[in-house]
Copies of this chain bind each other. A is one copy, B any other.
Amino acid sequence: MNAPTTAQHLMPAIALRDVPAALIDTLKAHFGDRCSTAMAVREHHGRDESAYTTVPPPAAVVFAESTADVAFAVTQAAQYSVPVIPFGIGSSLEGHLLAVQGGISIDVSRMKKVLSINPEDLTVTVQPGVTRKQLNEEIKSTGLFFPIDPGADASIGGMSATRASGTNAVRYGTMRENVLGLEVVTASGEVIRTGTRARKSSAGYDLTRLMVGSEGTLGVITEVTLKLFPLPEAVSAATCSFPSIEAAVHTTIQIIQMGIPIARVELIDQNAVRMVNAYSKVSLPVQPMLLMEFHGSPASVKEQAETVQDISSEFGGQAFEWATTPEDRTRLWTARHNTYFAGLNSRPGCRVISTDTCVPISRLADCLLDSMAEVEASGIPYFLVGHVGDGNFHFGYLIDPDNAQERATAETLNNQLVARALSMDGTCTGEHGIGLHKMEFLLNETGAGAVSMMRTIKKALDPKNIMNPGKIFLD
């Protein structure tokens, strides 16, 4: 018998909780064929994009079409102390969707109505299954857009639950800053509302922010009110190649420290460039590259671009390519957006273990370069991409999922990286969340006192521990 894989090793001991037939019967009676126990459906809902070994899938999947549906399912599950796991589109990278204690999956992907658009207030209210691309499509005529772009066409509910961010966060903030209010089904099946459509408020505890990033462990998000932004009058994108990662990172640091309101500044390393070239049939210079975007008035965009070009040149940046039409910009950004799949494609059968550290900007070069030296030395194939303007970057370790040694090496590399980031006053996760993968890191990062406070809150709001149990905290 093989040694357990590292992922299995990290996985908390699975103690499946009983899902009584009476609960399934009740759900089937209410939902009809919107409650499925077919194995294929269950299996689809029992995994995500993480590299975890599959655990037994949820006992049933309920397809909710309304808040009342969600409330019904949670109320019934609560009666039997059965875990519920909210499911959007399944793009989690941290094992959020795995039924590690059994239970049922509540799929909200059919709750995909844009409920109200208030262009004059720059707000929109959506159901949780609306994806970010769908949202931007539906509001296109208003002249507004929703900037948060985590790469995947994730659901707004899932993005809220994981406090997602991505490429535009350096200018527009993360889900933390952009969710104004929520409707949430609590652990008892009650429906509550948090926040208003006002831009700011000092009215009591910030329950909105407590729910954003709670990874389904405090409630199921059934409605989200978001900030929108006017589409910039002018947009200009550029790629620039650098002689070294160091040069690209130092360029970024200087852009941020000067306060240039850059909309995007993304790093991809030469491995990623090579993989993208092969996958997308392009021929980008095989060098570290920054992809940048500037938003504003035409004059402001021009000014930003000139300043950034000056800084880049100082650090040896060259082969600037500019794009101002939407089509050309899309082409430039394809490289960045395809990195993940280009990586997967570069080593058939591999899985990606993605790191997610984020450090104060002044430590970015040290953190990144030291960690890169470690992965180079390990021999594990990898790529590197980064929302470097925020100090956030991802190594994608491309491992053979059946090779215990590779898994172990990747976990060791990640452990070293996280320890380094924490020693620099950074975080183990900039945007993916804790899930199953980073519970020990959370403890190291924030200390026993803060984790104990989180547990106290969890216990108070979910005394039966039915809301996505086994995530964030080790039970």
**Residues of A in contact with B (beta carbons under 8 Å apart):** 118, 120-123, 162-165, 169, 173-174, 176-177, 186, 190-207, 209-210, 212-214, 218, 229-230, 232, 253, 256-259, 261, 296-297, 299-300, 303, 356, 358-363, 390-392, 421-422, 425-434, 438, 441-442, 445-447, 449-454, 456-461, 472
Rounded to whole Å, the gap between the CB of A416 and the closest CB of chain B is: 18
CB nearest neighbor in B for A443: B204
CB nearest neighbor in B for A191: B449
Task: Please measure, in the bound complex, the distance between the C-alpha atom of A237 and the C-alpha atom of B377, giving whole angstroms.
Answer: 56
CB nearest neighbor in B for A206: B209
Task: Please measure, in the bound complex, the distance between the C-alpha atom of A107 and the C-alpha atom of B472, giving whole angstroms.
Answer: 36
Q: A213-B202, A259-B230, A438-B203 are in contact. Are A193 and B447 (CB under 8 A)?
A: yes
A358 and B198 contact, CB distance less than 8 A: yes
Q: A229-B259, A460-B460 are in contact. Are A203 and B390 (CB under 8 A)?
A: no
What copy number does this chain have within its complex? 2
A198 and B230 contact, CB distance less than 8 A: no
CB nearest neighbor in B for A209: B209
CB nearest neighbor in B for A229: B259
CB nearest neighbor in B for A173: B177
Task: Please measure, in the bound complex, the distance between the C-alpha atom of A122 and the C-alpha atom of B453, giving whole angstroms.
Answer: 28
Q: Which of B118, B176, B360 contacts A362 (CB 8 A)?
A: B118
B200 and A430 contact, CB distance less than 8 A: yes
Q: In the complex, given contacts A186-B449, A190-B449, A196-B425, what are 4 additional A-B residue pairs having Cβ atoms less than 8 angstroms apart?
A: A200-B431, A201-B430, A203-B429, A210-B457
B121 and A362 contact, CB distance less than 8 A: yes
Rounded to whole Å, the gap between the CB of A211 and the closest CB of chain B is: 9
A429 and B193 contact, CB distance less than 8 A: no
Q: A210-B206, A214-B205, A447-B192 are in contact. Are A197 and B360 (CB under 8 A)?
A: yes
Task: Please measure, in the bound complex, the distance between the C-alpha atom of A232 and the C-alpha atom of B258, giving whole angstroms.
Answer: 9
CB nearest neighbor in B for A175: B202
Q: A197-B426, A200-B165 are in contact. Are A461 and B450 (CB under 8 A)?
A: no
9 tightest CB-CB pairs across the interface, nearest first?
Answer: A230-B259, A192-B449, A209-B209, A460-B460, A120-B362, A201-B427, A121-B360, A197-B425, A198-B358
Which residues of chain B have C-beta atoms less than 8 A from A121's C-beta?
360-363
Rounded to whole Å, the gap between the CB of A455 and the closest CB of chain B is: 9
Task: Please measure, in the bound complex, the distance between the C-alpha atom of A356 and the C-alpha atom of B451, giving whole angstroms.
Answer: 35
Most B-side CB within 10 Å, residue of A210, A259, A361: A259
Task: Please measure, in the bound complex, the distance between the C-alpha atom of A169 and the C-alpha atom of B199, giving whole angstroms.
Answer: 10
A198 and B362 contact, CB distance less than 8 A: no
A442 and B206 contact, CB distance less than 8 A: no
B202 and A432 contact, CB distance less than 8 A: yes
Most B-side CB within 10 Å, residue of A191, A457, A461: A457
Task: Please measure, in the bound complex, the distance between the C-alpha atom of A426 and the C-alpha atom of B360, giving whole angstroms.
Answer: 35
Q: A230-B257, A299-B303, A360-B118 are in contact. Are A434 and B204 (CB under 8 A)?
A: yes
Q: A177-B173, A258-B230 are in contact. Are A204 and B446 (CB under 8 A)?
A: yes
A186 and B453 contact, CB distance less than 8 A: yes
Most B-side CB within 10 Å, residue of A202, A209, A303: A202
Rounded to whole Å, the gap between the CB of A115 and the closest CB of chain B is: 13
A202 and B445 contact, CB distance less than 8 A: no
Which residues of chain B have C-beta atoms less than 8 A from A253's C-beta?
120
B118 and A206 contact, CB distance less than 8 A: no
Which residues of chain B have C-beta atoms less than 8 A from A195's C-beta?
446
Rounded to whole Å, the gap between the CB of A346 and the closest CB of chain B is: 27
CB nearest neighbor in B for A449: B192
Q: Which of B162, B174, B390, B450 contacts A207 (CB 8 A)?
A: B450
Task: Please measure, in the bound complex, the distance between the C-alpha atom of A176 and the C-alpha atom of B180, giving whole angstroms.
Answer: 12
A205 and B457 contact, CB distance less than 8 A: yes
Task: Please measure, in the bound complex, the distance between the C-alpha atom of A441 and the C-alpha atom of B10, giving whole angstroms.
Answer: 47
Q: Which of B197, B454, B459 contacts A204 (CB 8 A)?
A: B454
Task: Please measure, in the bound complex, the distance between the C-alpha atom of A359 and the C-alpha atom of B363, giving whole angstroms.
Answer: 40
Which residues of chain B have C-beta atoms less than 8 A from A358's C-beta?
198-201
B204 and A442 contact, CB distance less than 8 A: yes
